[in-house]
Every structure is written in C-alpha cells, then in structure tokens.
C-alpha cells in the first residue's frame, strides 16, 4: 500500500466553499446528490485537473454548472474521480450523484445501517464512501443537507448545524433540511435517520443563548440517557468556566447506535455515540461505565472547539485535537471527581496501553511522520501520551502562561486547520519561552528513562541527586536526541513533611520541578542534616520510567507519608511490583514465597485509614495486573509463572489481614445507589475487600451472597467476576453465570459483561470457553462491542488463557481476527494489536505467536488495515 509522508503535504488545488447534499435514503439503494461549489486556489493554473477521493463508490451522474459532463471530460473509478479539464473560470459547480447500499456496508465507515438506523461515520476517511470529495481535513466547507426517508421507519432526520425546514413528500416519505454555518472538513459531516426515543433538555450559555439538547436512543431506553444528559450539561458549564468556551449552534444532538467502530464521534452539532457510552442506570451499568460515559460525553463535546472550530491541517496532526481534548476531558473528570484518584487511573491506563505500544514494534511519535492506514493511528500514543505532553506544557510554563497560550492558539486559529507547530508557537509567544527542545515529545517515539542515584552526606548536610536520561531506540529511530523532562520531586523528612533546602545547586529547579535537559545532571541540596526520602515524578509529571534503587523502608515510608497522593500510591505499587517479581524470579512463580511483613501490614493500614478516601484505598489495595508485572520483567516472560507469583502475594495479603478485611467489608456499605464518585469509591473498596475475603476463606460464600443481594450492576458484576475467576467450575459460579445470562439475555450491553467475565477467567480452559461463546446466540461477529467484549478481553486481559503454552489461544484469536476482517477491517486491525508484545515472551510462546502472525500476513486478500498492523508487528 501507499505510504503517506508528512513532508509531502500540499494544499489542494481547489477549495470547496459550499457543499449541498441531498440524501434519498433507501436501505439498499440510497441516492446521494452532491452539489459542490469549487473555487480554484490562487496561483493554481486554470484548467488544472480536479482529483477527488472516492472509496467503493458508484457514480450515477456528473454535471458541471448544470450540464452533463461528456465521457471524455472525466475519469471515474470506485476510488477516484478526475475532472480532466475543469473550466478556466475561478468558480464552478460540480454535481455528483452516487448510489450507495447502506445495508451491505459492514465496515461501519461511510453511510451504514445499525439496528434499522441509517447513520454515518466519516472520520478519518469515510466521507469518500458517500460521494467524491476532497476528503482531507484542511478543506473546509459550509454544508446544507436535505434528507428524504420513509416516515414510518425514519421519523427522525438529523444532520449537522441547525434545523431549517421539514415537510411531507407524499407516498409515506418526508424530508428535513439542516444548515451548518460553520465551515468544516468532511470528516465532521454526519447524517442520522431512524426511529428513536429522545431525551430532551436545554442549556442557556454564559452569554444567554438557548441551546436545545437531545439524546436519541432506542425505544424504551430514554431513562438510561439521563446520566449522559447530566454529564453533557456539566461539560458545557465547565468549558465556559474553565476555558471561556461557549457552544455556538442552536441545537446539540447526540445519537446512540449499537454498531460503532470506536467510542464516539464529534460531528459538528451531531455527536454519534457507541450506545455503550450513553446508556446507563444502576441496574445495568457499573461505576466504571458511568465514569466512562461522563468522560466521553465531555470529550466529544470539548471537540467542538478543540477539533471542530480549530481542526487539523492533515492527519499527521491528529494529536493536535486528540491529545488536547483528552487533556481537557481528564481535567474535567478530575474537577468533577477526585483529582488524585483520577490521576492514578490515568497513569494506570497510560502504562497499560501506551507504554507497551511505545516499547514495541508499533511505537511511533505522538505526531507521526508516516502512515499507511490512518485509521491505525488512533492510538494510545496519539491520545494518551498526546494528553501527557499538553499536561507537561502546563507544568513547564505554569498554569497562567499555559492558559494564555491556549487562549492565543484558539484566537489565532479559530476557523482554520492548524498544525502542532502552530500550537507550540502559541505557547512560546504567550510565555516568551523557547519550547524547541520540549517539542521533541511530539516528534520522537519511545519512553524516556531517568536513572537516578541519591547520596546523603551528613558531614556537610548535603543531599546529592544524580540523574541520567536515556531514550531507548524505536522502529526507524535508532538515535535519540536529549529531551526536556520536567521531573516533579520532593524531599520528605522524618516527620513526613517536605523539606525546603537552604540552597539548590546544579540543574534548573523551579517550583518543585527539576528540568532535566542534558544527558546528566547533578542536583545538590544544601542544609539537609538528615537523609530524606526522595519522592520522584510526583503527580506523574512526565510519561517516563524511573530506574532508582530505593530502600524498601523508604518506599514504605513514602507510601505512608508522602504529601502527594499519587506518589503514595506509586510507592506502594513499586513495592508490590518488586515483591511479585522477586517471587517470580525466586521460584519461577511458585506461590509459597515469604513476603515482607512490613508491606503486608502496610496494605492493612491503607485499608483502614479513614483519612484516605475509599476510592484511593481501593486503588492502593489493587495489585499490579499480570501485564503490568510482565512489562516490568521485560523479557522471556512465562505468563503462568507471573500469575502464580501474583496470586501468592494476593493470598499473603488476604490471609494476614483477613479479620480486618472482613470487618471493613461489613462497615463500608455505600447505601442507596448514587453514581457520584464518592459512592462509587465506597463500592470499589468493598469489592476489592470481597476479593481478598474470597481468597483468604477459599470459599465462594461471600461473593455468592453479594451476587444474590446486589441491587446494582457494580456489586453484581464484581461478585460474579470473583465467583467465575476464583471458583471456576464451582456450582456457585456456574449457577451465578447461568442466572446472569438468563436475566440479561435480551440486553446486549449487559451480556457483554457476561462475555468479558468469562473471557478473562484465568487458566488453560479459557480457550475452550471462548471458542464456545463465539457460537452463543447473543454473540455477533459483525458487532464491534461483542467482538471486543469476547475476543478483545480474552487477548488483552487473560494472560494465562490467551498465552496458553500450546499456542491454541493464538490460533483461535487469529481465526477470529480473519473472520472479523471480512466484515470490518478496522476492527480486525485494532484487535490484532494484542499480539504486539510477542517478542517479550519465552521462546515457545514466541514461536507460536510468530507462526500465527506469519499465517495472517501470508493471506493474499488481506485488507491494508490488517496488513499494516501485522507487518509492523512482525518487522
């Protein structure tokens, strides 16, 4: 396939100031008439051929300024339309008529049908599946859209912008016209038509304009949209208060659909959502679902400014909108919930999703320079690391200069398609600081490492910290340049308070941050008579790894005393990871290793420390996952041994603290269900305790009782997970699984939880379980949510099952990926990334994984999406 390179960027020869679209919707033969007003760009020679993008298109008719174009005047293929000799005039109108079959579009890109609903997904390159166009983000156009459909099956007709007109057409047909006054790229276009229930509300903006809000859902599910509506209104207020950004149209609509390739889409004024991220009530959604809904509703809404009003010049700049918008949604959730708990959750996600990407064959810079399939670059690096880079800009410049820079960026580029260079320049201009070294965070792949040693000299009361930075090589970047790494730190004294040094010598240190810019730094703190505990990367100030020999007693001290809650959690997490790795190495995973009683006792202390919020305590009590541990081990991994080592530590903690945990479990009832963070935190703590209790008692009794009595999905699903994972095959576990299946058989989103719980049940038998679930009536290979719940969970969360040593997990996985690919190449490609860390496995598993990757890559009819991923993983 073609490789796109950032240096090849050229503006289009023509502009499209105005686009008029008519959709005559029919399930199998929809006619799209596009009236495109073209304007030759200044400096482009008259008559320069007009080359438009298409994808699997079928052209019905072509007119130029109202007259049919002669066959010699154009070349049309499903992939392209070339008007060979456009008029010499500066402006002309091209009318393009195409015919589509939405019912047969299983890619879920372009116009497709989901559960009887017509909907579109155009980002990144779906618009070219609707009509021939400059399907690139830097061509902005004002759209007017007319939709015609059967009134009986599609009473609701929606598009971007504001409603203009609607009416009857006779013969059971009707129409609606929408106009979006804001010029936008084609990827933000959307049409939805169907039969929905709508939850209506309204919002008055800071300047007093009324905005009508609507959330469109499947009939009977309106009540389940209430939390999403609440999250939307809170997002609107927050963006006004924190960033001074107001909504700009008369209406804001959200539609929930059940077949969707990603989480949601920020189409101007008409967000389309995966229904998983809209529908929630206490009986069907967990606290994690509520938190996701809040974050994603906010994320898509925030795109209205960061993405829509200011968009990207090209897809290399994807992080310009995504990294910034993730940063904004993180800040929103931190303000709505608990900031430290949110930060810990963000870092856990970054390490679980982005670190393996950055440390493996799929590593790429936050702003990539090359791609074959842009859909494969909606990655944790672009999104999550991209957000961390924005956060670091704030750390480097300080909150005020950061706010000025963002304001300047928005003022300068409103209505434009911008680049990362534009973004950085706005911060440089607002702060008068040079960010050229810092900008490497956008351009250089790989997770930097800081190796740190610290020595205390009582004689002259100094504390010396030596820091050395390195960035490991990544694909096609063997030599790395020195980064600017903002390292937040603290020196913690015996009383648990931060020590203020009399004088600091060496590197640039500002407001508790060491600015590491050179390869090696020495920082000497004067006036430190007693050796302090060194707290590093507080608040996770930079997305990096730290190599530092820290005494376990210092880590225990920091876990108990650090003033930074993230650092407290981190200290404990480091101790737990180290303990597991020691067990793994000592006896290759045998569970009966003696663990440090001090660590075990600290876990008990954390659980009962009422000065800490329950959500934090729940996180502190959660052990690093098997993949977290494997990542730290790095090479020659045996997932069975990792599992055993982790179980051994869990059991030691559970047994030593059994009485206490039982008491706390009894005390911490969250009471009546509320979806807020404080109530969710109580449930989280109680459910971690339930897991430990089940482990120490070795009995399913506690979990079975909770399963039977639970009145909300969080507690029910947690109990079912414990039963299924800790007591597989036990009559209580089988009965609970059967009960759950029976109760929720007609609720696909809840059945996804049932698939997930079974797909993540540890052990060799998982392969057979997953194989049989592929034939379950509630499973559908064409629905991305089902595929992700079953096969995605198996491949990413079931280390012992997926990596079964006979390779059967990989073979089942590969067969499924190829099945999915026939219908939906994008979803198949994303699924296949689960094999990206195959080289860190022990030799036998490595060979089995390599064989399935080679098998997939040798298929001749492979989609470019899947080929791109598999070939990069193998390279």
336 binds, among Zn ion, ligand HT7, none (CB under 5 to 8 A by kind): none
Tell me which stretch binds ligand HT7 (CB under 6 A): 37-45, 259-267, 363-371, 579-587: 259-267
Tell me which stretch binds ligand HT7 (CB under 6 A): 68-76, 118-126, 178-186, 591-599: 118-126
Q: How far is the CB of 694 from ligand HT7 (least distance, A)?
A: 38
The enclosing H or E element of 201 equals strand 197-204
Query: Which residues from 369-388 bind Zn ion, rule CB under 5 A?
Result: none
3-class state of residue 380 by DSSP:
helix
How far apart (Å, rounded) are the C-alpha atoms in residues 307 and 311?
A: 4
3-class state of residue 808 by DSSP:
helix
Tell me which stretch binds ligand HT7 (CB under 6 A): 120-128, 162-170, 470-478, 698-706: 120-128
The enclosing H or E element of 614 equals helix 614-621
121 binds, among ligand HT7, Zn ion, none (CB under 5 to 8 A by kind): ligand HT7
Q: Between β-strands 251-257 and 210-217, what pairing exists: parallel, antiparallel or unpaired?
A: parallel
381 binds, among ligand HT7, Zn ion, none (CB under 5 to 8 A by kind): none
- The residue sitting closest to ligand HT7, measured at its beta carbon, is 262
Name residues whose C-beta falls within 8 Å of residue 42's C-beta, 6 or more positions apart in sequence. none
Here's the x/- map for Zn ion, 289-328, by CB under 5 A: it reads as ---------------------------------x--x---
Residue 358 touches ligand HT7, criterion: CB under 6 A:
no
Instruction: Evaluate whether 486 touches 395 at the Cβ level (below 8 Å).
Output: yes
Closest-CA residue to 179 (of 157, 189, 164, 190): 164
Per-state percent for the chain, helix, strand, coil, to nearest 5: 45, 25, 30
Q: How far is the CB of 705 from Zn ion (least distance, A)?
A: 42
How far apart (Å, rounded) are the C-alpha atoms in residues 262 and 364?
A: 21
Here's the x/- map for Zn ion, 96-135, by CB under 5 A: it reads as ----------------------------------------
How far apart (Å, rounded) are the C-alpha atoms in residues 382 and 364?
A: 9
- Tell me the two tokens of residue 742: 């029976």
Hunting for tokens 């790795």 — which residue is that? 581
Closest-CA residue to 398 (of 482, 320, 488, 465): 488
Tell me which stretch binds ligand HT7 (CB under 6 A): 298-306, 338-346, 497-505, 799-807: 298-306
Residue 160 touches ligand HT7, criterion: CB under 6 A:
no
Residue 211 touches ligand HT7, criterion: CB under 6 A:
no
Q: How far is the CB of 379 from Zn ion (least distance, A)?
A: 12
Distances (CA, A) of 527 to 134, 354, 500, 502, 561: 65, 40, 9, 5, 22
148 binds, among Zn ion, ligand HT7, none (CB under 5 to 8 A by kind): none
Residue 373 touches ligand HT7, criterion: CB under 6 A:
no
378 binds, among ligand HT7, Zn ion, none (CB under 5 to 8 A by kind): ligand HT7
Residue 121 touches ligand HT7, criterion: CB under 6 A:
yes
Here's the x/- map for ligand HT7, 266-295, by CB under 6 A: it reads as x-----------------------------
Q: How far is the CB of 272 from ligand HT7 (least distance, A)?
A: 8
Distances (CA, A) of 364 to 382, 386, 442, 444: 9, 12, 10, 8
Query: Which residues from 374-433 bind ligand HT7, rule CB under 6 A?
Result: 375, 378
Nearer to ligand HT7, 375 or 524 (CB): 375
Q: How far is the CB of 296 from ligand HT7 (least distance, A)?
A: 8
How far apart (Å, rounded) are the C-alpha atoms in residues 433 and 436?
A: 9
How far apart (Å, rounded) are the C-alpha atoms in residues 815 and 260?
A: 22
Name which position in 191, 199, 231, 262 contacts ligand HT7 (CB under 6 A). 262
Q: How far is the CB of 173 from ligand HT7 (least distance, A)?
A: 30
Name which position in 141, 144, 261, 580 contacts ligand HT7 (CB under 6 A). 261
- Count residues contacting Zn ion (CB under 5 A)? 2
Hunting for tokens 């911490």 — which residue is that? 668
- Tell me the two tokens of residue 408: 């300047």
How far apart (Å, rounded) are the C-alpha atoms in residues 260 and 279?
A: 14
Q: How far is the CB of 109 from ligand HT7 (least distance, A)?
A: 7
- Tell me the two tokens of residue 179: 């106009």
Catalytic residues: 300
Nearer to Zn ion, 135 or 322 (CB): 322
Residue 123 touches ligand HT7, criterion: CB under 6 A:
yes
Name residues whose C-beta falls within 8 Å of residue 722's C-beta, 6 or more positions apart in sequence. 690, 691, 694, 700, 703
Q: Which residues pair with 498 in a beta bridge?
A: 492
Q: What is the DSSP letter of 111?
A: E
By the criterion CB under 5 A, which residues form the site for Zn ion? 322, 325
By the criterion CB under 6 A, which residues form the site for ligand HT7? 121, 123-124, 261-262, 264-266, 299-300, 303, 322, 375, 378, 826
């Amino acid at each position: 396939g073609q490789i796109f390179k950032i240096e090849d960027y050229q503006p289009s020869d023509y502009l499209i100031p105005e686009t008029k679209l008519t959709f005559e919707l029919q399930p199998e033969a929809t006619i799209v008439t596009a009236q495109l007003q073209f304007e030759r760009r200044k400096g482009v020679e008259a008559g320069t051929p007009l080359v438009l993008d298409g994808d699997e298109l079928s052209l019905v008719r072509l007119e130029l300024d109202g007259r049919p174009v002669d066959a010699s005047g154009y070349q049309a293929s499903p992939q392209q339309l070339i008007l060979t000799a456009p008029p010499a005039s500066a402006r002309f109108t091209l009318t393009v008529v195409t015919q589509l079959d939405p019912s047969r579009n299983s890619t879920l890109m372009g116009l497709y049908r989901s559960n009887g609903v017509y909907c579109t997904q155009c980002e990144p390159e779906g618009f070219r599946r609707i009509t021939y166009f400059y399907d690139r983000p830097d061509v902005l156009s004002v759209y007017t859209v007319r939709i015609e459909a059967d009134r009986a099956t599609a009473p609701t007709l929606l598009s971007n912008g504001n409603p203009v007109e609607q009416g009857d057409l006779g013969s059971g047909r009707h129409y609606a016209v929408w106009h979006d006054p804001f010029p936008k790229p084609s990827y933000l276009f959307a049409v939805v038509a169907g039969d929905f229930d709508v939850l209506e509300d309204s919002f008055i903006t800071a300047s007093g304009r009324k905005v009508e809000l609507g959330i469109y859902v499947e009939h009977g599910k309106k009540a389940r949209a209430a939390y999403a509506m609440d999250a939307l209104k809170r997002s609107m207020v927050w963006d006004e208060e924190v960033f001074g950004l107001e909504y700009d149209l008369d209406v804001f609509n959200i539609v929930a659909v059940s077949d969707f390739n990603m989480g949601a889409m920020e189409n101007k004024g008409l967000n389309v959502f995966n229904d998983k991220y809209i529908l929630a009530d206490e009986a069907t959604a967990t606290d994690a679902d509520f938190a996701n809904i809040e974050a994603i509703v906010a994320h898509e809404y925030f795109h209205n400014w960061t993405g829509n009003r200011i968009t990207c010049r090209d897809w290399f700049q994807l992080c310009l909108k995504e990294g910034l918008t993730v940063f904004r949604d993180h800040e929103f959730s931190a303000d709505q919930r608990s900031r430290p708990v949110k930060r810990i959750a963000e870092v856990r996600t970054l390490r679980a999703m982005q670190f393996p990407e950055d440390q493996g064959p799929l590593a790429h810079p936050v702003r990539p320079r090359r791609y074959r399939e842009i859909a494969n670059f909606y990655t944790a690096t672009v999104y999550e690391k991209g957000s961390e880079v924005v956060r670091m800009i704030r750390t480097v410049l300080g909150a005020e200069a950061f706010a000025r820079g963002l304001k300047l960026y928005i003022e300068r580029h409103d209505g434009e398609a911008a680049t990362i260079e534009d973004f950085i320049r706005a911060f440089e201009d607002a702060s008068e600081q040079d960010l050229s070294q810092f900008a490497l965070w956008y351009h250089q792949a790989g997770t930097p490492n800081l190796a740190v040693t610290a020595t205390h000299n009582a004689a002259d009361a100094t504390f010396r910290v030596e820091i050395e930075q390195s960035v490991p090589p990544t694909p096609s970047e063997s030599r790395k340049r020195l980064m600017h790494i903002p390292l937040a730190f603290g020196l913690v004294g015996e009383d648990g308070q931060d020590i203020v040094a009399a004088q600091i010598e060496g590197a640039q240190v500002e407001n508790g941050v060491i600015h590491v810019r050179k390869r090696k730094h020495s920082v000497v703190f004067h006036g430190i008579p007693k050796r302090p505990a060194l707290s590093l990367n507080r608040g996770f100030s930079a997305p990096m790894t730290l190599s530092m020999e820290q005494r376990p007693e210092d880590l225990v001290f920091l876990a108990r005393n650090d003033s930074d809650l993230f650092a407290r959690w981190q200290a404990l997490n480091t101790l737990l990871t180290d303990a597991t790795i020691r067990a793994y190495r000592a006896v290759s995973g045998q569970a009966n290793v003696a663990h440090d009683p001090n660590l075990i006792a600290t876990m008990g202390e954390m659980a009962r420390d009422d000065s800490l919020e329950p959500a934090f305590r729940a996180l502190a009590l959660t052990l690093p996952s098997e993949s977290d541990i494997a990542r730290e081990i790095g090479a020659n991994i045996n997932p069975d041994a990792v599992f055993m080592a982790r179980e051994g530590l869990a059991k030691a903690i559970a047994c030593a603290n059994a009485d206490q945990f039982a008491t706390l479990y009894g005390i911490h009832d969250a009471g009546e269900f509320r979806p807020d963070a404080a109530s969710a935190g109580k449930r989280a703590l109680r459910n971690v305790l339930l897991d430990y209790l089940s482990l120490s008692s070795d009995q399913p009794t506690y979990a079975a009782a909770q399963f039977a009595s639970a009145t909300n999905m969080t507690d029910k699903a947690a109990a079912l997970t414990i039963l299924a994972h800790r007591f597989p095959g036990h009559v209580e576990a089988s009965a609970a699984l059967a009960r759950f299946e029976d109760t929720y058989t007609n609720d696909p989103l809840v059945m996804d939880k049932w698939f997930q719980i079974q797909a993540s049940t540890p052990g060799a038998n998982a392969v057979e379980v997953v194989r049989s679930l592929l034939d379950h009536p509630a499973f559908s290979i064409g629905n991305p949510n089902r595929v992700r719940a079953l096969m995605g969970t198996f491949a990413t969360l079931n280390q012992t099952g997926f990596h079964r040593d006979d390779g059967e997990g990989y073979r089942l996985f590969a067969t499924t990926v190829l099945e999915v690919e026939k219908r939906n190449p994008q979803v198949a490609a994303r699924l296949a990334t689960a094999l990206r860390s195959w080289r860190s496995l022990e030799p036998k598993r490595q060979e089995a994984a390599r064989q399935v990757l080679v098998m997939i890559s040798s298929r001749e009819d492979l989609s470019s999406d899947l080929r791109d991923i598999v070939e990069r993983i193998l390279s």
